[in-house]
């Protein structure tokens, strides 16, 4: 209930202040990841923040600029950057993103609804992830890439929508089924074969030597993680600052609720500062901001791939670490995300502390001001929310804890002055014929 209340109250703040730096962070991560190879099968990338999602193998590739024509949409050519190691589906995604960049994701054509044709000369060739030309390595089949088709820099490609006439549908359906049948074959790979499958080739050593070797390799790749982190640093800092900025931009709901928590701490003697810190952290940063940070598609019309999601999880974990009071002692065996942000974490922790202190020092938001603000929020969302459903869900909660709520209302002076006990009893009587004191 608190999470939903906060979400509605913070919507305007998200729209006016924190939304833009979050969107820029998302776009920066996506751009950085797509600069290097991404294995479409094992969902690992050369450039990432997440060591478990790091593509360890060195993959040869070159950056290509493709000249893309969209069939039926005029002679204009759109230049699109892609990698020679990209699968056909990955190339389609990059083309769709560039050609339809002014449309939100939900309104763009999907990869399966377009075909890609390469025109090296007078005849065209349809490109697909798997076909009869796919390279076989023993029992393994490699997903087709631009390099497989020998597509060069500056090549002209034609993107066409799949027309749903019956003949085209049947033909496309057959191609689609053939592609799906090939893709469902376990022995399909893109850039690297899954590690567990290579056990057939290697003897099952599993020795301590192997594990120390893996550890050494991980440490080598940590420098690559650090390089990506350095490129994204400004975007991460900007987002953290926008969220943890106390002062005029703090939404009234945050000040009002944090004051309520401070009052509860005074009411229940011996509540230390660390506990209050945990209360505030659990109610806002962890419950709301981490959720938004890990799921940008909750507020933006975008598609979050697994590789982007893995990088966002590292930043979200860093944000969570910044909100804790406990110190994490670093060692060689510490998780890579903690090593990555080891230098920044003390700054982030101070930002959280200063944010909470700043809010505490702000002028209080009175009940009257809060009610006025909530009335404005309600008016702004009148056409977007189903009040009847919300009231019904609230009543289900009230019904479950009816006796406890009645007892609490009886003891509360503010509730007594507004006759809230009587009003709840009247609602219960009307809805369920509950026995009341009427």
pLDDT in tens, 298-339: 999 999 999 999 999 999 999 999 999 888 787 777 777 788
> What's the confidence (pLDDT) of residue 222?
80
If one compares 221 and 202, the residue with the highest pLDDT of the two is 221
d(CA 341, CA 232) in angstroms, rounded, equals 12
Rounded CA Rg of the chain: 28
Residue with tokens 């390279």: 135
Strand partners, 77: 69
Cα gap 354→365, rounded to integer Å: 19
Please give the Cα distance from 138 to 131 (Å, whole number). 17
Helix (H, G, I), strand (E, B) or coil at 234: helix
Residue 197: is its pLDDT beyond 70?
no
Residue 115 · residue 163 · CB < 8 Å:
no
78-131 pLDDT per residue, tens: 999 999 999 999 999 999 999 999 999 999 999 999 999 998 877 789 999 999
Measure the CA–CA gap between 295 and 5, rounded to whole angstroms: 18
Give the pLDDT confidence score for residue 184 in this predicted structure: 58
What integer pLDDT is reported at residue 208 of this predicted model?
53
pLDDT, one tens digit per residue, over 360-371 is: 999 999 999 999
Q: What is the value of pTM for the model shown?
A: 0.84
Q: Torsion-angle region of residue 426: left (phi > 0), alpha (psi -120 to 50) or beta?
A: alpha
Question: What is the token pair recorded at 319?
Answer: 């944000």
For 44, the enclosing helix (H) or strand (E) is: strand 44-45
Distances in whole angstroms, Cα of residue 271 to Cα of each of 71, 263, 276, 277 = 68, 11, 7, 10
The residue that leads in pLDDT, 30 or 193, is 30
Q: What is the pLDDT of residue 242?
A: 93
Phi, psi of 178 (to 5 degrees): -65, -45
pLDDT at 203 (0 to 100):
44
Residue reference for tokens 């060069």: 152
- In this model, does residue 196 exceed pLDDT 70? no
Name the residue with higher pLDDT: 386 or 97: 97
| Range name among 39-48, 331-340, 401-410 with the lowest pLDDT average | 331-340
Rounded to an integer, the average pLDDT of 177-192 is 70
Closest CA to 236 of 327, 347, 335: 347
Q: Is the pLDDT of residue 433 over 80?
A: no
- The average confidence (pLDDT) of the chain is 86
Residue 222 to residues 33, 210, 232, 239, 284, Cα–Cα distance (Å): 16, 18, 15, 24, 32
Backbone φ and ψ for 186, nearest 5 degrees, come out as -60, -30
State pLDDT tens for residues 258-305. 999 999 999 888 789 999 999 999 999 998 999 999 999 999 999 999
Which residues contact residue 315 at a Cβ distance below 8 angstroms, ignoring those fewer than 6 apart?
Answer: 25, 49, 236, 293
For residue 115, give every residue at least 6 positions away whose Cβ sits within 8 Å of its Cβ, in sequence order, or none. Answer: 126, 159, 160, 162
Q: For residue 316, give every residue at least 6 positions away whose Cβ sits within 8 Å of its Cβ, in sequence order, or none.
A: 290, 293, 294
Which structure tokens are listed for 18? 């924190």
Q: Tell me: the pLDDT tens digits for 23-41?
A: 999 999 999 999 999 999 9
- Of the two residues 414 and 88, the one the predictor is more confident about is 88
Ranges 74-78, 203-207, 313-317, most confident? 313-317
Number of other CB atoms surrounding residue 310 within 10 Å: 21
Tell whether the torsion through CA atoms of 384, 8, 391 and 420 is positive or negative: negative
């Amino acid at each position: 209930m608190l999470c939903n209340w906060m979400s509605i109250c913070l919507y305007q703040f998200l729209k006016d202040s924190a939304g833009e730096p979050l969107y820029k962070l998302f776009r920066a991560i996506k751009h950085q990841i797509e600069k290097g190879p991404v294995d479409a099968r094992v969902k690992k990338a050369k450039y990432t923040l997440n060591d478990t999602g790091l593509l360890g193998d060195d993959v040869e590739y070159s950056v290509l600029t493709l000249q893309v024509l969209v069939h039926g949409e005029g002679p204009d050519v759109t230049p699109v950057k892609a990698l020679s190691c990209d699968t056909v589906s990955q190339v389609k995604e990059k083309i769709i993103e560039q050609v339809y960049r002014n449309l939100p994701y939900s309104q763009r054509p999907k990869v399966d609804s377009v075909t890609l044709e390469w025109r090296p000369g007078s005849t065209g060739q349809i490109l697909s992830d798997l076909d009869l030309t796919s390279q076989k390595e023993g029992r393994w089949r490699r997903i087709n890439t631009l390099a497989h088709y020998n597509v060069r820099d500056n090549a002209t490609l034609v993107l066409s929508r799949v027309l749903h006439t019956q003949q085209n549908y049947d033909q496309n359906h057959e191609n689609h089924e053939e592609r799906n049948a090939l893709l469902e074959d376990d022995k399909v790979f893109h850039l690297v074969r899954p590690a567990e499958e290579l056990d057939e080739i290697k003897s099952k050593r599993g020795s301590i030597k192997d594990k120390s070797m893996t550890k050494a390799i991980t440490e080598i790749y940590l420098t690559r993680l650090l390089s990506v982190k350095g490129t994204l640093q400004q975007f991460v800092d900007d987002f953290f600052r926008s969220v943890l900025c106390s002062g005029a931009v703090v939404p009234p709901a945050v000040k009002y609720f944090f004051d309520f928590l401070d009052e509860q701490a005074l009411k229940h003697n011996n509540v230390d500062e660390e506990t209050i810190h945990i209360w505030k952290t659990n109610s806002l940063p962890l419950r709301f901001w981490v959720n938004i940070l890990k799921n940008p598609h909750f507020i933006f019309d975008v598609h979050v791939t697994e590789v982007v999601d893995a990088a966002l999880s590292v930043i979200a974990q860093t944000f969570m670490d910044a909100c804790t009071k406990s110190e994490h002692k670093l060692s060689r065996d510490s998780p890579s995300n903690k090593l990555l942000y080891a230098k920044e974490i003390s700054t982030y922790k101070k930002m959280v502390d200063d944010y909470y202190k700043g809010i505490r020092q702000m002028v209080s938001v009175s009940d009257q001001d809060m009610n006025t603000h909530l009335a404005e929020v309600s008016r702004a969302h009148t056409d977007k929310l189903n009040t009847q459903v919300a009231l019904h869900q609230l009543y289900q909660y009230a019904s479950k804890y009816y006796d406890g709520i009645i007892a609490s209302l009886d003891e509360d002076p503010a509730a007594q002055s507004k006759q809230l006990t009587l009003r709840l009893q009247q609602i219960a009587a009307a809805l369920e014929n509950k026995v009341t004191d009427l």
